[in-house]
Amino acid sequence: MTPEDRTLELSPEAFSRLIDAAARRVIAHVASLPAQPSADTEGGAALARSLREPLPESGRPAEELLDLLFERVIPKSFNTAGPGYLAYIPGGGLPHAAVADFIADAVNRYVGVFAAAPGLAQIETNVVRWFADLAGYPAEARGILTTGGSLATFSALVAARRDRLPENFLAGTLYVSDQTHHATRKAALLAGFPADNVRAIESDGLFRIRPDALAAAVAADRAAGLRPFFVVGNAGTTNTGAVDDLVALADLCARERLWFHVDAAYGGFFLLTREGRRRLSGIERSDSIVLDPHKGLFLPYGTGALLVRDGGALERAHGLTADYLPSMQEDPDLVDFNLLSPELSRDFRGLRVWLPLKMHGIGPFRANLEEKLELARHAARELARIPDVEIVAEPQLSIVAFRLAPPGLDGPALDRVNRALLERVNGRRRVYLTGTLLNGRFAIRLCVLSFRTHRERVDAALEDIRSAADEVRAGGTP
Ligand SMILES: Cc1ncc(COP(=O)(O)O)c(C=O)c1O
């Protein structure tokens, strides 16, 4: 093999050509997002199978590979970045963040160790501090950016476990509501707790945890010799956007000396709005908070965040060194992320948050979130005017849940009608909605969160729901 055969370095010209070729396609793709179907996965499994291949021995031209991606592979998916994505919890994908990722990957600096890239580590520290300020956390709070809410929840739970339980922690019990995202259950399993140690406390008519039921469960567990230690408050559930009474939970946790964790993965950035501040009041008294910038800050997937009020607790759970990696600085004012996180080597995810926030300032983010709150209220008002539509959950943030409830129908027959309605709405391909079970019955959810979703797309959703409901009521089958 000659040195030429071995080289992996791109010449400046070849690098520039590759960037141009990718940029041309990305820019055209993003411009076409509103016109793309809201989902297109027909033939997806066949496509996936057709892509299987052995490790290639020789290379192919970049243009051919980019064509494969942009013409065949990317189109077969949910259009999660488009304005019609009103399913689950939408993200968005600010393009500035993609440019930040490009820079971060190309310079490939090491931000997990402060001494290796002090300025870049500080940029990520600034981002975490901005989030802590938003939550009302004190100066000694610390945090990390994670790949998402699930891993942030895991680190929160491990920090709480180390802080509140002995080495043998198997008697420790955790409390969530029957609406809490399963990320907490998964974190508990990963952290070594028996599945039965997670108590699902019932919620009230507005899908908020019942503090009286929580207090009773804690008392019963203590009486049984268990060690209650961790309570999750929801700041926006995935099902309906319900926000628990965080003040009541903070009081209860203070009284019972329990770690108070808030799952604000979906709802946290509504703190930027006046209404969100009011609804999330009490969050500042929590011990830890999970936020997902890839939801409420419209960033690409792979951007979560954890904040811990007592930064020392986060470090005591994660801060290990080794002979080959001794601590390289001791200034408590400077942050070594590897001592606060399960990760050592990792991408520089702070830049993808920092660049759009620095380019725009926070104003447009706040305005977008205010708009989403209003769009959900608008959707709820208009849905209620459709004959036989019942609002199952009024928006507390930017989710509304509803169902078609023609007189005389209930039980599984009602569920079938609503599954058919959902299928018809999604089949029109302008919007993509998803369903869930609320009190055991199927309901359709509409969640507005993307920075690309505005009034005209929500009105298109309403038009499609109206016409699909007419068809379903007339007895059509999907
Ligand atoms: C309320 C809530 N918590 C936690 C999560 C898990 O976050 P992630 O998907 O970023 O791991 C989600 C995800 O949708 C969520 O909606």
pLDDT of 295 above 60: yes
Q: Which atom of ligand 1 is nearest to the CA of 267?
A: 1
Q: Which protein residue's CA is at the shortest distance from atom 8 of ligand 1?
A: 149
Q: pLDDT per residue over 356-370, tens digit each?
A: 999 999 999 999 999
Distance 250 CA to ligand 1 centre (A): 22
pLDDT of 477 above 50: no
Q: For residue 330, name the pLDDT band (cuts at 50, 70, 90).
A: confident
Enter the tokens of residue 22: 């990718």
Q: Which residues line ligand 1 (CB under 6 A)?
A: 89, 148-150, 181, 183, 238, 263, 265-266, 292, 304
Q: Which atom of ligand 1 is nearest to the CA of 237?
A: 1
Mean pLDDT within 90-117: 97
Report pLDDT for 476: 53
Q: Which atom of ligand 1 is nearest to the CA of 236?
A: 1
Q: Which long-range contacts (CB under 8 A, 24 or more apart) does 462-470 make?
A: 462/379, 462/382, 462/383, 464/425, 464/428, 464/430, 464/431, 465/383, 465/386, 465/389, 465/421, 465/425, 466/386, 468/421, 468/424, 468/425, 468/428, 469/386, 469/387, 469/388, 469/389, 469/404, 469/421
Distance 256 CA to ligand 1 centre (A): 27
Report pLDDT for 478: 43
Please give the share of the chain, as a percent, with pLDDT higher than 90.
Answer: 96
Q: Which protein residue's CA is at the shortest distance from atom 5 of ligand 1?
A: 149
* Residues contacting 173, CB < 8 A, separation 6+: 197, 198, 199, 221, 226, 227, 228, 229, 230
Name the more confident of 186 and 330.
186
Distance 431 CA to ligand 1 centre (A): 21
- Rama region for 159: left / alpha / beta (φ>0; ψ in -120 to 50; rest): alpha
Neighbours of 77 (CB within 10 A): 14
Q: Which of 146, 179, 181 to mutate to test the pocket of ligand 1 (most atoms within 8 A of CB)?
A: 181
Q: Which atom of ligand 1 is nearest to the CA of 292?
A: 10
Q: State the sign of the Cα–Cα–Cα–Cα dihedral 130, 344, 146, 432.
A: positive
Q: Which of 88, 150, 291 to mutate to test the pocket of ligand 1 (most atoms within 8 A of CB)?
A: 150
Distance 22 CA to ligand 1 centre (A): 30
Q: For residue 351, name the pLDDT band (cuts at 50, 70, 90).
A: very high
Report pLDDT for 328: 87
Distance 49 CA to ligand 1 centre (A): 29
Q: Which protein residue's CA is at the shortest distance from atom 7 of ligand 1?
A: 149
Q: For residue 132, name the pLDDT band (cuts at 50, 70, 90).
A: very high
Distance 266 CA to ligand 1 centre (A): 7
Distance 150 CA to ligand 1 centre (A): 6
Q: Which atom of ligand 1 is nearest to the CA of 180?
A: 1
Q: Which atom of ligand 1 is nearest to the CA of 238?
A: 16
Distance 242 CA to ligand 1 centre (A): 14
Report pLDDT for 423: 98
pLDDT of 86 above 90: yes
Residues for the chain: how many in total?
478
- Measure the CA–CA gap between 179 and 67, rounded to whole angstroms: 43
Distance 87 CA to ligand 1 centre (A): 13
Q: pLDDT per residue over 167-222, tens digit each?
A: 999 999 999 999 999 999 999 999 999 999 999 999 999 999 999 999 999 999 99
Q: Which atom of ligand 1 is nearest to the CA of 150?
A: 11
pLDDT of 1 above 80: no
pLDDT of 5 above 90: no
Q: Which of 89, 147, 291 to mutate to test the pocket of ligand 1 (most atoms within 8 A of CB)?
A: 89
Distance 187 CA to ligand 1 centre (A): 12
Report pLDDT for 4: 73
Distance 54 CA to ligand 1 centre (A): 35
Q: pLDDT per residue over 414-457, tens digit each?
A: 999 999 999 999 999 999 999 999 999 999 999 999 999 999 99
Mean pLDDT within 265-273: 98
Enter the tokens of residue 261: 């964790």
